A = this chain, B = another copy of it.
Amino acid sequence: MGNDKKQVESITSMSEDFAQWYTDVVKNAELADYSSIKGCLIIRPYGYALWENMQRELDRMFKETGHENVYMPMFISESLLNKEKDHIEGFAPEVAWVTHGGETELEERLCVRPTSETLFCDHYANIVKSYKDLPKLYNQWCSVVRWEKTTRPFLRSREFLWQEGHTVHATAEEAREETIRMLNIYADFCKDFLALPVNKGRKTDKEKFAGAEETYSIEALMHDGKALQSGTSHYFGNGFAKAFNIQFLDKNNELQYVYETSWGVSTRLIGAVIMVHGDDFGLVLPPKLAPTQVIVIPIAQHKEGVIEKATEIKDRISKVARTKIDTTDKMPGWKFSEYEMRGVPIRVEIGPKDIENNQAVLVRRDTREKISVSLNNIEEEITKLLEVIHNDMYQKALKMKEELTRSATTFEEFNNLLNEPKPGFVKAMWCGEKECELDIKDKTGGVTSRCIGEIQEHLSDTCICCGKPAKYMVYWGRAY
Protein backbone atom coordinates (compact mmCIF):
# COMPACT_ATOMS: atom_id res chain seq x y z
CA MET A 1 0.00 0.00 0.00
CA GLY A 2 2.89 2.35 0.66
CA ASN A 3 4.05 2.09 -2.93
CA ASP A 4 0.50 2.28 -4.15
CA LYS A 5 -0.07 5.58 -2.38
CA LYS A 6 3.20 7.01 -3.58
CA GLN A 7 2.33 6.36 -7.19
CA VAL A 8 -1.13 7.84 -6.87
CA GLU A 9 0.03 10.88 -4.97
CA SER A 10 2.39 11.78 -7.76
CA ILE A 11 -0.44 13.03 -9.93
CA THR A 12 -2.45 16.12 -9.17
CA SER A 13 -6.17 15.52 -8.67
CA MET A 14 -8.54 16.63 -11.41
CA SER A 15 -10.60 18.84 -9.16
CA GLU A 16 -7.53 20.61 -7.79
CA ASP A 17 -5.91 21.56 -11.10
CA PHE A 18 -7.28 20.00 -14.27
CA ALA A 19 -4.50 21.30 -16.54
CA GLN A 20 -1.81 19.93 -14.23
CA TRP A 21 -3.70 16.64 -13.90
CA TYR A 22 -3.69 16.36 -17.70
CA THR A 23 0.04 17.01 -17.95
CA ASP A 24 0.71 14.53 -15.14
CA VAL A 25 -1.26 11.79 -16.89
CA VAL A 26 0.53 12.41 -20.20
CA LYS A 27 3.86 12.16 -18.41
CA ASN A 28 3.20 9.39 -15.88
CA ALA A 29 1.39 7.10 -18.30
CA GLU A 30 4.44 7.65 -20.58
CA LEU A 31 2.33 8.82 -23.50
CA ALA A 32 4.59 11.68 -24.55
CA ASP A 33 7.56 13.78 -23.58
CA TYR A 34 8.72 17.25 -24.49
CA SER A 35 11.49 17.60 -27.05
CA SER A 36 14.10 20.33 -27.07
CA ILE A 37 12.10 22.13 -29.79
CA LYS A 38 9.29 24.17 -28.26
CA GLY A 39 5.87 22.82 -29.18
CA CYS A 40 7.18 19.63 -30.82
CA LEU A 41 6.24 16.48 -28.98
CA ILE A 42 7.95 13.11 -28.62
CA ILE A 43 5.24 10.47 -28.81
CA ARG A 44 6.47 7.59 -26.67
CA PRO A 45 5.71 3.90 -27.33
CA TYR A 46 2.54 3.78 -25.24
CA GLY A 47 1.16 6.97 -26.79
CA TYR A 48 2.15 5.88 -30.27
CA ALA A 49 0.44 2.51 -29.75
CA LEU A 50 -2.81 4.43 -29.15
CA TRP A 51 -2.32 6.30 -32.41
CA GLU A 52 -1.54 3.06 -34.28
CA ASN A 53 -4.74 1.49 -33.02
CA MET A 54 -6.76 4.54 -34.06
CA GLN A 55 -5.05 4.53 -37.46
CA ARG A 56 -5.75 0.86 -38.05
CA GLU A 57 -9.46 1.21 -37.35
CA LEU A 58 -9.94 4.49 -39.23
CA ASP A 59 -7.91 3.21 -42.18
CA ARG A 60 -10.17 0.16 -42.32
CA MET A 61 -13.26 2.39 -42.30
CA PHE A 62 -11.81 4.66 -45.00
CA LYS A 63 -10.89 1.75 -47.28
CA GLU A 64 -14.25 0.10 -46.74
CA THR A 65 -15.83 3.26 -48.14
CA GLY A 66 -13.60 3.24 -51.23
CA HIS A 67 -10.76 5.54 -50.18
CA GLU A 68 -7.15 5.04 -51.21
CA ASN A 69 -3.99 6.23 -49.48
CA VAL A 70 -1.35 8.36 -51.19
CA TYR A 71 1.64 10.42 -50.11
CA MET A 72 2.16 14.05 -51.11
CA PRO A 73 5.36 16.05 -50.55
CA MET A 74 5.77 17.79 -47.18
CA PHE A 75 6.76 21.05 -48.91
CA ILE A 76 4.53 23.57 -50.64
CA SER A 77 6.05 26.36 -52.70
CA GLU A 78 4.97 29.86 -51.77
CA SER A 79 3.37 30.40 -55.18
CA LEU A 80 1.31 27.20 -54.90
CA LEU A 81 0.14 28.09 -51.39
CA ASN A 82 -0.88 31.52 -52.71
CA LYS A 83 -3.25 30.18 -55.34
CA GLU A 84 -6.41 30.18 -53.23
CA LYS A 85 -6.85 33.56 -51.55
CA ASP A 86 -8.87 32.62 -48.44
CA HIS A 87 -6.69 29.61 -47.83
CA ILE A 88 -3.39 31.50 -47.78
CA GLU A 89 -4.87 34.24 -45.59
CA GLY A 90 -5.88 31.60 -43.08
CA PHE A 91 -2.56 29.77 -42.99
CA ALA A 92 0.19 32.29 -43.79
CA PRO A 93 0.60 33.52 -40.20
CA GLU A 94 1.34 30.04 -38.90
CA VAL A 95 3.54 28.24 -41.43
CA ALA A 96 7.20 27.30 -41.09
CA TRP A 97 9.35 28.42 -44.03
CA VAL A 98 12.30 26.57 -45.50
CA THR A 99 14.68 29.04 -47.12
CA HIS A 100 17.90 27.06 -47.58
CA GLY A 101 18.81 23.65 -49.03
CA GLY A 102 22.26 22.81 -47.70
CA GLU A 103 24.38 25.95 -48.14
CA THR A 104 22.25 27.33 -50.96
CA GLU A 105 19.43 29.83 -50.61
CA LEU A 106 16.32 28.58 -52.42
CA GLU A 107 14.96 30.59 -55.33
CA GLU A 108 11.50 30.29 -53.84
CA ARG A 109 10.61 29.71 -50.19
CA LEU A 110 8.89 26.43 -49.33
CA CYS A 111 6.50 26.05 -46.46
CA VAL A 112 6.19 22.85 -44.48
CA ARG A 113 2.61 21.73 -45.15
CA PRO A 114 0.09 22.99 -42.59
CA THR A 115 -2.51 20.99 -44.60
CA SER A 116 -2.33 19.75 -48.19
CA GLU A 117 -5.30 21.10 -50.17
CA THR A 118 -2.99 22.93 -52.56
CA LEU A 119 -0.85 19.85 -53.25
CA PHE A 120 -3.85 17.60 -53.86
CA CYS A 121 -5.43 20.23 -56.13
CA ASP A 122 -2.24 20.55 -58.15
CA HIS A 123 -2.13 16.77 -58.59
CA TYR A 124 -5.84 16.44 -59.39
CA ALA A 125 -5.48 19.11 -62.07
CA ASN A 126 -2.93 16.79 -63.72
CA ILE A 127 -4.71 13.47 -63.46
CA VAL A 128 -8.42 14.26 -63.77
CA LYS A 129 -9.47 14.53 -67.41
CA SER A 130 -12.83 12.85 -67.81
CA TYR A 131 -15.93 12.00 -65.79
CA LYS A 132 -14.57 8.44 -65.93
CA ASP A 133 -11.73 9.56 -63.64
CA LEU A 134 -14.19 10.65 -60.95
CA PRO A 135 -14.58 10.47 -58.05
CA LYS A 136 -11.04 10.37 -56.68
CA LEU A 137 -11.16 9.47 -52.99
CA TYR A 138 -7.65 9.99 -51.59
CA ASN A 139 -6.36 10.10 -48.05
CA GLN A 140 -2.93 10.52 -46.53
CA TRP A 141 -1.42 9.82 -43.12
CA CYS A 142 1.30 12.30 -42.32
CA SER A 143 2.50 15.03 -40.00
CA VAL A 144 1.73 18.72 -40.47
CA VAL A 145 3.21 21.88 -39.00
CA ARG A 146 1.46 24.98 -37.68
CA TRP A 147 3.55 27.53 -35.85
CA GLU A 148 1.28 27.91 -32.79
CA LYS A 149 2.21 30.31 -29.99
CA THR A 150 0.81 28.33 -27.06
CA THR A 151 1.06 24.59 -27.15
CA ARG A 152 -0.15 21.59 -25.08
CA PRO A 153 0.67 17.91 -25.59
CA PHE A 154 -1.71 16.32 -28.15
CA LEU A 155 -4.13 19.27 -28.01
CA ARG A 156 -2.14 21.90 -29.83
CA SER A 157 1.40 21.41 -31.02
CA ARG A 158 3.58 22.85 -33.73
CA GLU A 159 3.83 19.49 -35.40
CA PHE A 160 1.12 16.87 -35.16
CA LEU A 161 0.16 13.59 -36.79
CA TRP A 162 -3.11 13.33 -38.64
CA GLN A 163 -4.90 12.00 -41.68
CA GLU A 164 -6.26 14.29 -44.33
CA GLY A 165 -8.78 13.05 -46.89
CA HIS A 166 -9.12 15.00 -50.13
CA THR A 167 -11.76 14.01 -52.65
CA VAL A 168 -12.99 15.35 -56.00
CA HIS A 169 -16.41 14.67 -57.46
CA ALA A 170 -18.40 15.36 -60.63
CA THR A 171 -21.30 17.02 -58.81
CA ALA A 172 -21.89 19.26 -55.82
CA GLU A 173 -24.44 16.81 -54.51
CA GLU A 174 -21.97 13.93 -54.46
CA ALA A 175 -19.32 16.09 -52.75
CA ARG A 176 -21.84 17.16 -50.11
CA GLU A 177 -22.73 13.52 -49.49
CA GLU A 178 -19.05 12.69 -49.03
CA THR A 179 -18.63 15.57 -46.56
CA ILE A 180 -21.45 14.24 -44.40
CA ARG A 181 -20.43 10.59 -44.85
CA MET A 182 -16.98 11.33 -43.41
CA LEU A 183 -18.42 13.41 -40.56
CA ASN A 184 -20.56 10.39 -39.68
CA ILE A 185 -17.62 8.02 -39.95
CA TYR A 186 -15.74 10.19 -37.44
CA ALA A 187 -18.72 10.28 -35.07
CA ASP A 188 -19.22 6.51 -35.37
CA PHE A 189 -15.51 5.90 -34.78
CA CYS A 190 -15.62 8.09 -31.65
CA LYS A 191 -18.65 6.25 -30.32
CA ASP A 192 -17.80 2.67 -31.29
CA PHE A 193 -14.03 2.67 -30.83
CA LEU A 194 -13.24 5.46 -28.36
CA ALA A 195 -16.52 5.40 -26.37
CA LEU A 196 -16.69 9.17 -26.94
CA PRO A 197 -20.03 10.87 -27.49
CA VAL A 198 -19.82 13.94 -29.77
CA ASN A 199 -22.02 16.70 -31.08
CA LYS A 200 -22.18 16.92 -34.85
CA GLY A 201 -22.91 20.12 -36.67
CA ARG A 202 -21.92 22.82 -39.09
CA LYS A 203 -19.45 25.55 -38.21
CA THR A 204 -20.41 29.21 -38.51
CA ASP A 205 -18.67 31.21 -41.26
CA LYS A 206 -16.37 32.73 -38.68
CA GLU A 207 -15.19 29.31 -37.49
CA LYS A 208 -15.02 27.49 -40.82
CA PHE A 209 -11.86 26.30 -42.57
CA ALA A 210 -9.91 28.79 -44.69
CA GLY A 211 -11.20 28.23 -48.22
CA ALA A 212 -14.19 26.02 -47.40
CA GLU A 213 -17.80 26.74 -48.31
CA GLU A 214 -18.99 24.71 -45.35
CA THR A 215 -17.16 23.10 -42.44
CA TYR A 216 -18.71 20.40 -40.26
CA SER A 217 -17.21 19.26 -37.00
CA ILE A 218 -17.55 16.80 -34.19
CA GLU A 219 -17.28 18.44 -30.78
CA ALA A 220 -16.57 16.50 -27.62
CA LEU A 221 -16.95 17.69 -24.04
CA MET A 222 -14.04 17.26 -21.65
CA HIS A 223 -14.27 16.50 -17.94
CA ASP A 224 -13.64 20.14 -17.08
CA GLY A 225 -16.60 21.27 -19.16
CA LYS A 226 -14.51 22.62 -22.01
CA ALA A 227 -15.16 21.66 -25.62
CA LEU A 228 -12.68 19.98 -27.93
CA GLN A 229 -13.11 20.13 -31.69
CA SER A 230 -12.20 16.54 -32.48
CA GLY A 231 -12.57 16.23 -36.24
CA THR A 232 -13.66 18.30 -39.22
CA SER A 233 -15.12 17.65 -42.66
CA HIS A 234 -15.17 20.41 -45.28
CA TYR A 235 -17.20 21.01 -48.40
CA PHE A 236 -15.27 23.23 -50.82
CA GLY A 237 -17.75 23.62 -53.66
CA ASN A 238 -15.65 24.36 -56.73
CA GLY A 239 -13.65 27.25 -55.30
CA PHE A 240 -10.35 25.37 -55.22
CA ALA A 241 -11.18 23.72 -58.56
CA LYS A 242 -11.41 27.15 -60.16
CA ALA A 243 -8.23 28.41 -58.50
CA PHE A 244 -6.32 25.29 -59.61
CA ASN A 245 -8.21 24.69 -62.85
CA ILE A 246 -9.34 21.14 -62.09
CA GLN A 247 -11.68 20.42 -64.99
CA PHE A 248 -13.10 17.31 -66.61
CA LEU A 249 -15.10 16.45 -69.70
CA ASP A 250 -18.58 15.36 -68.68
CA LYS A 251 -20.76 12.81 -70.52
CA ASN A 252 -21.84 15.52 -72.97
CA ASN A 253 -18.20 16.30 -73.69
CA GLU A 254 -18.38 19.64 -71.92
CA LEU A 255 -15.74 20.98 -69.54
CA GLN A 256 -16.83 21.17 -65.90
CA TYR A 257 -15.12 22.03 -62.64
CA VAL A 258 -14.92 19.32 -59.98
CA TYR A 259 -16.43 19.66 -56.50
CA GLU A 260 -14.16 18.97 -53.62
CA THR A 261 -14.06 17.91 -49.95
CA SER A 262 -11.44 17.46 -47.28
CA TRP A 263 -11.61 15.96 -43.79
CA GLY A 264 -9.25 15.15 -40.98
CA VAL A 265 -8.67 13.89 -37.47
CA SER A 266 -5.42 14.01 -35.56
CA THR A 267 -3.51 12.87 -32.47
CA ARG A 268 -5.72 15.42 -30.69
CA LEU A 269 -8.11 12.47 -30.27
CA ILE A 270 -5.63 11.07 -27.74
CA GLY A 271 -6.16 14.27 -25.73
CA ALA A 272 -9.92 13.74 -25.95
CA VAL A 273 -9.64 10.18 -24.63
CA ILE A 274 -7.53 11.36 -21.71
CA MET A 275 -9.83 14.24 -20.75
CA VAL A 276 -13.16 12.46 -21.19
CA HIS A 277 -12.39 9.10 -19.60
CA GLY A 278 -9.46 9.74 -17.26
CA ASP A 279 -9.73 9.96 -13.46
CA ASP A 280 -7.54 10.72 -10.45
CA PHE A 281 -5.78 7.37 -10.82
CA GLY A 282 -4.70 8.19 -14.37
CA LEU A 283 -5.69 7.12 -17.83
CA VAL A 284 -8.85 5.06 -18.45
CA LEU A 285 -8.73 3.45 -21.89
CA PRO A 286 -11.74 2.23 -23.84
CA PRO A 287 -11.11 -1.49 -24.45
CA LYS A 288 -10.90 -1.36 -28.26
CA LEU A 289 -8.22 1.33 -28.09
CA ALA A 290 -6.17 -0.20 -25.27
CA PRO A 291 -2.81 -1.65 -26.42
CA THR A 292 -3.06 -4.03 -23.46
CA GLN A 293 -6.66 -4.94 -22.61
CA VAL A 294 -5.95 -7.31 -19.74
CA ILE A 295 -3.07 -7.33 -17.28
CA VAL A 296 -2.61 -10.46 -15.20
CA ILE A 297 -0.98 -9.91 -11.81
CA PRO A 298 0.03 -12.93 -9.71
CA ILE A 299 -0.44 -12.46 -5.96
CA ALA A 300 2.13 -13.99 -3.60
CA GLN A 301 3.97 -15.11 -6.70
CA HIS A 302 6.84 -16.61 -4.69
CA LYS A 303 4.46 -19.41 -3.63
CA GLU A 304 4.67 -22.61 -5.59
CA GLY A 305 2.56 -22.84 -8.71
CA VAL A 306 1.27 -19.26 -8.69
CA ILE A 307 3.30 -17.92 -11.62
CA GLU A 308 2.67 -21.10 -13.59
CA LYS A 309 -1.09 -20.92 -13.08
CA ALA A 310 -1.17 -17.16 -13.77
CA THR A 311 0.81 -17.71 -16.97
CA GLU A 312 -1.58 -20.42 -18.04
CA ILE A 313 -4.51 -18.07 -17.44
CA LYS A 314 -2.70 -15.31 -19.38
CA ASP A 315 -2.22 -17.65 -22.33
CA ARG A 316 -5.89 -18.59 -22.30
CA ILE A 317 -7.08 -14.98 -22.12
CA SER A 318 -4.62 -14.04 -24.88
CA LYS A 319 -6.84 -15.92 -27.30
CA VAL A 320 -9.65 -13.39 -26.81
CA ALA A 321 -7.91 -10.19 -25.74
CA ARG A 322 -4.55 -8.37 -25.87
CA THR A 323 -3.11 -9.66 -22.60
CA LYS A 324 0.10 -9.30 -20.63
CA ILE A 325 1.37 -10.66 -17.34
CA ASP A 326 3.63 -8.84 -14.88
CA THR A 327 5.88 -11.23 -12.96
CA THR A 328 8.51 -8.66 -12.03
CA ASP A 329 9.55 -8.50 -8.38
CA LYS A 330 7.68 -5.26 -7.70
CA MET A 331 4.95 -5.27 -5.01
CA PRO A 332 1.41 -6.06 -6.23
CA GLY A 333 0.26 -2.65 -4.94
CA TRP A 334 2.86 -0.94 -7.10
CA LYS A 335 1.72 -2.95 -10.10
CA PHE A 336 -1.94 -2.15 -9.45
CA SER A 337 -1.36 1.57 -9.52
CA GLU A 338 1.05 1.33 -12.48
CA TYR A 339 -1.53 -0.35 -14.72
CA GLU A 340 -4.28 1.88 -13.42
CA MET A 341 -2.15 4.87 -14.41
CA ARG A 342 -1.85 3.34 -17.89
CA GLY A 343 -5.60 2.75 -18.08
CA VAL A 344 -5.54 -1.00 -18.76
CA PRO A 345 -9.27 -1.94 -18.85
CA ILE A 346 -9.14 -5.17 -16.82
CA ARG A 347 -6.74 -6.37 -14.15
CA VAL A 348 -6.78 -10.07 -13.29
CA GLU A 349 -5.51 -10.92 -9.80
CA ILE A 350 -4.69 -14.51 -9.08
CA GLY A 351 -3.12 -15.85 -5.89
CA PRO A 352 -2.87 -19.14 -3.94
CA LYS A 353 -6.39 -18.83 -2.49
CA ASP A 354 -7.90 -18.06 -5.88
CA ILE A 355 -6.18 -21.09 -7.34
CA GLU A 356 -7.53 -23.23 -4.51
CA ASN A 357 -11.04 -21.97 -5.25
CA ASN A 358 -10.57 -22.24 -9.04
CA GLN A 359 -11.25 -18.53 -9.44
CA ALA A 360 -9.67 -15.18 -10.22
CA VAL A 361 -10.54 -11.60 -9.36
CA LEU A 362 -11.28 -9.24 -12.23
CA VAL A 363 -10.89 -5.54 -11.48
CA ARG A 364 -12.48 -3.06 -13.87
CA ARG A 365 -10.40 0.04 -14.49
CA ASP A 366 -13.39 2.27 -15.26
CA THR A 367 -15.34 1.59 -12.03
CA ARG A 368 -12.54 -0.11 -10.01
CA GLU A 369 -15.14 -2.75 -9.14
CA LYS A 370 -13.92 -6.24 -8.22
CA ILE A 371 -15.60 -9.36 -9.56
CA SER A 372 -14.76 -12.97 -8.68
CA VAL A 373 -15.09 -15.32 -11.61
CA SER A 374 -14.57 -19.02 -12.14
CA LEU A 375 -11.48 -20.00 -14.07
CA ASN A 376 -13.54 -22.49 -16.07
CA ASN A 377 -14.85 -19.93 -18.52
CA ILE A 378 -12.63 -16.92 -17.87
CA GLU A 379 -12.25 -16.25 -21.62
CA GLU A 380 -16.00 -15.63 -21.98
CA GLU A 381 -16.08 -13.54 -18.81
CA ILE A 382 -13.32 -11.32 -20.17
CA THR A 383 -14.95 -10.97 -23.59
CA LYS A 384 -18.26 -10.00 -22.00
CA LEU A 385 -16.68 -7.62 -19.51
CA LEU A 386 -14.70 -5.75 -22.20
CA GLU A 387 -17.98 -5.16 -24.04
CA VAL A 388 -19.69 -4.02 -20.84
CA ILE A 389 -16.83 -1.65 -20.02
CA HIS A 390 -17.00 -0.07 -23.46
CA ASN A 391 -20.73 0.51 -23.18
CA ASP A 392 -20.57 1.77 -19.61
CA MET A 393 -17.76 4.18 -20.48
CA TYR A 394 -19.78 5.54 -23.37
CA GLN A 395 -22.91 5.92 -21.24
CA LYS A 396 -20.99 7.63 -18.46
CA ALA A 397 -19.43 10.09 -20.90
CA LEU A 398 -22.80 10.67 -22.55
CA LYS A 399 -24.40 11.38 -19.20
CA MET A 400 -21.65 13.87 -18.40
CA LYS A 401 -22.14 15.59 -21.75
CA GLU A 402 -25.91 15.71 -21.32
CA GLU A 403 -25.69 17.08 -17.79
CA LEU A 404 -23.33 19.76 -18.96
CA THR A 405 -25.49 20.72 -21.94
CA ARG A 406 -27.90 23.48 -20.95
CA SER A 407 -30.10 25.99 -22.80
CA ALA A 408 -30.28 29.72 -22.41
CA THR A 409 -32.80 32.22 -23.73
CA THR A 410 -31.44 35.39 -22.13
CA PHE A 411 -27.93 36.71 -22.40
CA GLU A 412 -27.58 36.90 -18.63
CA GLU A 413 -28.46 33.24 -18.22
CA PHE A 414 -26.14 32.39 -21.12
CA ASN A 415 -23.24 34.31 -19.62
CA ASN A 416 -23.79 32.85 -16.15
CA LEU A 417 -23.82 29.27 -17.38
CA LEU A 418 -20.69 29.79 -19.42
CA ASN A 419 -18.93 31.32 -16.44
CA GLU A 420 -19.60 28.37 -14.17
CA PRO A 421 -16.52 26.27 -13.29
CA LYS A 422 -17.70 23.69 -15.84
CA PRO A 423 -19.15 25.74 -18.70
CA GLY A 424 -20.22 22.79 -20.85
CA PHE A 425 -22.26 23.32 -23.98
CA VAL A 426 -24.90 26.02 -23.92
CA LYS A 427 -27.59 25.88 -26.58
CA ALA A 428 -28.81 29.29 -27.64
CA MET A 429 -30.37 30.97 -30.67
CA TRP A 430 -28.30 33.10 -33.02
CA CYS A 431 -29.10 35.58 -35.78
CA GLY A 432 -26.38 34.33 -38.13
CA GLU A 433 -24.25 37.49 -38.01
CA LYS A 434 -20.51 37.38 -37.40
CA GLU A 435 -20.75 40.62 -35.38
CA CYS A 436 -22.82 38.84 -32.74
CA GLU A 437 -20.30 36.01 -32.50
CA LEU A 438 -17.50 38.51 -31.96
CA ASP A 439 -19.64 40.39 -29.47
CA ILE A 440 -20.39 37.20 -27.52
CA LYS A 441 -16.72 36.24 -27.46
CA ASP A 442 -15.86 39.68 -26.18
CA LYS A 443 -18.56 39.94 -23.51
CA THR A 444 -18.11 36.40 -22.13
CA GLY A 445 -14.33 36.40 -22.19
CA GLY A 446 -13.77 33.83 -24.91
CA VAL A 447 -16.95 31.85 -25.59
CA THR A 448 -17.13 30.59 -29.20
CA SER A 449 -19.76 28.90 -31.32
CA ARG A 450 -18.88 25.21 -31.44
CA CYS A 451 -21.35 24.21 -34.12
CA ILE A 452 -24.82 24.75 -35.51
CA GLY A 453 -26.42 21.61 -34.13
CA GLU A 454 -27.32 18.88 -36.60
CA ILE A 455 -30.62 18.60 -34.73
CA GLN A 456 -32.13 22.06 -34.45
CA GLU A 457 -34.41 23.08 -31.58
CA HIS A 458 -36.48 26.25 -31.48
CA LEU A 459 -35.58 27.74 -28.09
CA SER A 460 -36.79 31.26 -28.77
CA ASP A 461 -37.48 33.67 -31.63
CA THR A 462 -34.56 35.99 -31.12
CA CYS A 463 -30.77 36.00 -31.12
CA ILE A 464 -29.28 35.58 -27.66
CA CYS A 465 -26.99 38.54 -28.34
CA CYS A 466 -28.64 41.20 -30.51
CA GLY A 467 -32.33 40.35 -30.15
CA LYS A 468 -32.90 40.25 -33.90
CA PRO A 469 -34.74 37.26 -35.43
CA ALA A 470 -32.93 33.99 -34.77
CA LYS A 471 -31.78 31.74 -37.58
CA TYR A 472 -30.04 28.83 -35.86
CA MET A 473 -29.66 27.02 -32.60
CA VAL A 474 -25.95 26.96 -31.87
CA TYR A 475 -23.87 25.00 -29.34
CA TRP A 476 -21.65 27.51 -27.55
CA GLY A 477 -18.74 26.71 -25.30
CA ARG A 478 -15.22 27.38 -24.17
CA ALA A 479 -12.86 25.47 -26.38
CA TYR A 480 -9.36 24.01 -26.22
Binding site for B on A (CB under 8 A): 33, 35-37, 40-45, 48-49, 51-52, 68-77, 80, 92-104, 110, 112, 119, 122-123, 126-127, 138, 142-143, 145, 147, 158-159, 161
- Across the interface, do B93 and A71 meet the contact criterion of CB distance under 8 Å? no
Chain B residues with CB under 8 Å of A161's CB are 71
**Cross-chain pairs A/B with CB under 8 angstroms, 5 sampled:** A42-B119, A49-B69, A51-B71, A74-B145, A93-B103
Tell me whether A147 and B101 are in contact in the complex, defined as CB-CB below 8 angstroms, given that A36-B122, A37-B77, A110-B37 are known contacts. yes
CA of A147 to CA of B126, assembled, Å: 25
CA of A80 to CA of B36, assembled, Å: 9
**B45, B70, B80, B102: the one within 8 Å of A147 (CB):** B102
Q: So how many copies of this chain end up in the complex?
A: 2
Most buried by B among A36, A104, A119, A138: A36
- Across the interface, do A119 and B35 meet the contact criterion of CB distance under 8 Å? yes
- Across the interface, do A75 and B159 meet the contact criterion of CB distance under 8 Å? yes
CA of A96 to CA of B80, assembled, Å: 19
- Across the interface, do B98 and A35 meet the contact criterion of CB distance under 8 Å? no
Chain B residues with CB under 8 Å of A97's CB are 98-101
Closest 4 CB pairs of A and B: A40-B73, A101-B147, A45-B68, A43-B71
CB distance from A211 to the nearest CB of B (A): 18
Tell me whether A74 and B143 are in contact in the complex, defined as CB-CB below 8 angstroms, given that A49-B69, A69-B48 are known contacts. yes
- Across the interface, do A126 and B33 meet the contact criterion of CB distance under 8 Å? yes
Tell me whether A73 and B37 are in contact in the complex, defined as CB-CB below 8 angstroms, given that A93-B103, A101-B96 are known contacts. yes
- Across the interface, do A42 and B99 meet the contact criterion of CB distance under 8 Å? no
Tell me whether A45 and B100 are in contact in the complex, defined as CB-CB below 8 angstroms, given that A33-B127, A122-B36, A123-B35 are known contacts. no
CA of A99 to CA of B105, assembled, Å: 11
CA of A255 to CA of B99, assembled, Å: 43
Chain B residues with CB under 8 Å of A51's CB are 71
**B35, B77, B158: the one within 8 Å of A36 (CB):** B77
CA of A379 to CA of B75, assembled, Å: 46
Tell me whether A42 and B69 are in contact in the complex, defined as CB-CB below 8 angstroms, given that A35-B119, A96-B98 are known contacts. no
CA of A44 to CA of B123, assembled, Å: 10
- Across the interface, do B71 and A48 meet the contact criterion of CB distance under 8 Å? yes
CB distance from A480 to the nearest CB of B (A): 21
CA of A178 to CA of B351, assembled, Å: 38
Tell me whether A73 and B41 are in contact in the complex, defined as CB-CB below 8 angstroms, given that A95-B102, A123-B35 are known contacts. yes
CA of A92 to CA of B71, assembled, Å: 26
CB distance from A72 to the nearest CB of B (A): 6
Chain B residues with CB under 8 Å of A35's CB are 72-73, 119, 122-123
CA of A70 to CA of B158, assembled, Å: 17
- Across the interface, do A45 and B33 meet the contact criterion of CB distance under 8 Å? no
- Across the interface, do A69 and B40 meet the contact criterion of CB distance under 8 Å? no
Closest B residue, CB atoms, query A71: B43
CA of A33 to CA of B51, assembled, Å: 29
CA of A159 to CA of B97, assembled, Å: 16
**B69, B74, B76: the one within 8 Å of A52 (CB):** B69
Closest B residue, CB atoms, query A119: B35
- Across the interface, do A94 and B98 meet the contact criterion of CB distance under 8 Å? no
Closest B residue, CB atoms, query A136: B45
Chain B residues with CB under 8 Å of A158's CB are 101
CA of A40 to CA of B73, assembled, Å: 6
Closest B residue, CB atoms, query A80: B36
CA of A41 to CA of B104, assembled, Å: 21
**B70, B95, B127: the one within 8 Å of A43 (CB):** B70
Chain B residues with CB under 8 Å of A41's CB are 73
Chain B residues with CB under 8 Å of A99's CB are 97-100
- Across the interface, do A42 and B112 meet the contact criterion of CB distance under 8 Å? no
Chain B residues with CB under 8 Å of A110's CB are 37, 96
**B70, B74, B94: the one within 8 Å of A44 (CB):** B70
